[in-house]
Amino acid sequence: MKNLKYLMILFLLIGIDLATKIIIEQTRFIFEIIINIISISYIENGDTCPAILTGDYSSLVLVGCKTIMLILVLLIVFRSNGYGMIKLGLVLMLAGNLGNLINILTYDGKAIDWIVLGNYLAINLADVYLLVGICMIAYQLISWLFAGCLTKNIKLITSH
């Protein structure tokens, strides 16, 4: 029952991601937050999985396999006590992956991006979820590594 909150977070994040994509797609809203640095704009990213349009579904299979792997890892971690930051990071990664997968499947292999950074990078909330999830897990693993090294007096670099 403790893990129900993570499932609720997962569905909430996916819903928010898909809702923002639908709103941006229907309104074609454009807004410059910081000139030439960050803006909101509808961008149909056909580079996401262009092979899908030609009948090559290998990219889609790869995204599906990543999703299945994340679900399995999440199930294993959920059976353990603790690991709160790891669980939340995995939930964020799964939400991002599923949000992008649903978007790719419903828009003929294209993704709707709407957060534009500079003139070079366009992302959506699902991409933000993935990045934040990866950072949370990396932070937790690194802190465990250094906590273990400090408490057990293990030297990271040994000299002879």
pLDDT of the chain along its 160 residues, tens only?
567 888 899 999 999 999 999 999 999 888 888 888 899 989 887 765 555 556 666 666 777 777 787 777 777 777 777 778 888 998 999 899 899 888 888 887 788 999 999 888 889 999 999 999 999 989 988 888 887 655 554 444 444 4
Domain that holds residue 98: 4-151
Predicted confidence at residue 159, as pLDDT, reads 45
**Tokens 């990664």 map to which residue?**
93
When divided into structural domains, the chain yields a total of: 1
pTM of the model: 0.79
In this structure, is residue 158 part of a structural domain? no
Within 13 A of 65's CA, how many CA atoms are on the CB side? 6
In this structure, is residue 156 part of a structural domain? no
In this structure, is residue 120 part of a structural domain? yes
In this structure, is residue 160 part of a structural domain? no
In this structure, is residue 157 part of a structural domain? no
Spatial contact of 103 and 93, defined as CB atoms under 8 Å apart: no
CA 128 to chain CA centroid, Å, is 6
Q: Which amino acid is at 54?
A: T
In this structure, is residue 95 part of a structural domain? yes
Q: Do strands 121-123 and 38-45 pair parallel, antiparallel, or not at all (unpaired)?
A: unpaired
For 35, 60, 102, 108, 111, the CA distances from 21, given in Å and listed in that order, are: 22, 20, 11, 15, 9
- Rounded to whole angstroms, how far apart are CA atoms 86 and 54? 38
Q: Which amino acid is at 19?
A: A
Give backbone dihedrals phi and psi of 36, rounded to 5 degrees, phi first: 65, 10
E strand segments, the chain: 31-34, 38-45, 111-117, 121-123
- Rounded to whole angstroms, how far apart are CA atoms 15 and 38? 24
In this structure, is residue 135 part of a structural domain? yes
Predicted confidence at residue 95, as pLDDT, reads 93
In this structure, is residue 159 part of a structural domain? no
